[in-house]
Amino acid sequence: METEPPKSKGWFWWLFVFVITTLVIAASVLTLRKNFNRSESKASPAPGHGGAIVHKYAEALNIAMQFFDIQRSGKLVNNQIAWRGNSGREDGTEANLDLSKGMYDAGDLMKFGFPMAFTATVLSWAILEYGEHMKAVKELRHAQDSLKWITDYLINAHPSDNVLYIQVGDPELDHKCWERPETMTERRPLTQINTSYPGTEVAAETAAAMASASLVFKNTNKTYSKLLLEHAQKLFAFADTYRSSYSISIPQVQEYYNSSGYGDELLWAASWLYHATRDQWYLRYVTVLNGNGFANWGSPTWFSWDNKLAATQVLLSRVNFVGSKNIPTAENLGLQMYRETAEAVLCGLLPDSPMATSCRTEGGLIWVSEWDALQYSVASAFLAVLYSDYMLSSQTSTLFCNGELYEPMDLRKFAISQADYVLGENPMKMSYLVGYGSSYPQYVHHRGASIPVDAQTGCGDGFKWLNSSAPNPNVAIGALVGGPFLNDTYIDSRNNSMQAEPTTYNSAFVVSLLSALIATNSPVIRSFA
């Protein structure tokens, strides 16, 4: 009969076995995890922590960025668009200014300062939030160069504190021609705002563009960043001191980019100036001083070139999420009001929310207007994924929508649904981003794209290319066209400017959305300054 081992020896023995076993298991798990992470990073490297590149969005971003190159005016540098050349070299000469740079607005050859500045602001925002994503797919430098092409123009368009040139070209003259930008011959008059003819919304939007861009270039070009911020502060002071809508001061702008009011632009610009300077006065401006007057708290709106309230609410929610320490109580209460209104906007976007908007097609696309329909859907999707990332980064787990709770992933799923619709998952089975996929618009309403490079046509006789039944000889790659009707249909006709005309601000929206969705991970949200 075997003798039972002493109890003390058995206790140490089983403890020893338990410890050794635990260490072996832990080592095995750690090895497996390292191997798993290593294999994942080889397959789909991505910026940040634990994410993977979504290749269809990366490809779409590479394509979308090229439309900014197509729209460039001036002497082109490192031109990658074979059918584009130098143009607009004399713009600004009648005022002894160099306004040759900047970008043409849409399918025409106008430079409208209001939407161009807005394009720069949105592109800056995308770079600031998702620059690491852009860098991972080699588009960050491209985005920065495109932004600088606009801000170089805006700097020159602001020759003195209270003067801003807001337009190059006469729309009536411009629209009597159908020609390539390289061969245009009509007069290119300038339009300015000043103390006698003020324009608060366009001055404020230009201030927002310069303030946000100053943050983009802060670590790579300090001198340029400082110059942009100086212009931004002067323009904001001009906008705020001489309050009047440019649509009233200069009635002829009403036909093209008529403003619905300037309150949103003042809040938008002051918000960007707060981020750029950390000057508490700008925060007080948007909360205590002007929140009640301009913010329209509690009333959701649509983000567009004309209305920046929803975007301002999200941008100031960012402060509430990650930077609200040492902010006075009154300002913090105002920030909370902005955040609550932002969440009302977002609850309206979620299709299953009790607050869901009815402004969408049967195919699931947010749809607000038959003119440039995709502007609203893509802009909404960008705000949704951005807010989702704010929530994740701040470890905010739920969004409350009138009795129902939603997670950050619900906002991201909505954003993905809009992006996928644009890229081809729609009833038409076509991509609305020109150059992406096998089926996309062939008759884009765009002069340069519609006229062969070697065509010998001038102002009036170029209309034969507008009316031609042949597809565009040049692909306006990266253009985001206006988009579908409410019934999810699209008529691919060059004369259908309502649906077939792209804009630079549409490109800014889609670049922002795709940059957010490129990686599966959420970036760490930090202060811009």
The span from the CA of 107 to the CA of 440, in Å, is: 17
Output DSSP code: residue 522. P
**φ, ψ for residue 16 (rounded to 5)?**
-60, -45
Report the Cα–Cα distance between both ends of the chain, in Å, rounded. Answer: 80
Output DSSP code: residue 4. P
Question: Which strands form 190-193's sheet, in the order they lie side by side?
Answer: 111-112, 164-168, 190-193
Give Cα 460 to chain centroid, integer Å. Answer: 35
Token output for 428: 């038409």
Q: Report whether 198 contacts 244 (CB < 8 A).
A: yes
**What is the 3-state composition of the chain as percent helix, strand, coil, each rounded to the nearest 5?**
50, 5, 40
Q: What is the 3-state secondary structure (H, E, C) of 340-352?
A: HHHHHHHHHHCCC
Give yes or no: 445 in active site.
yes
Token output for 488: 């999810």
Residue from 158, 275, 445, 446 carrying the catalytic annotation = 445
Token output for 174: 């411009």
Q: Report whether 462 contacts 177 (CB < 8 A).
A: yes
DSSP strand pairing (164-168 vs 190-193): antiparallel
Q: Which residues are catalytic?
A: 445
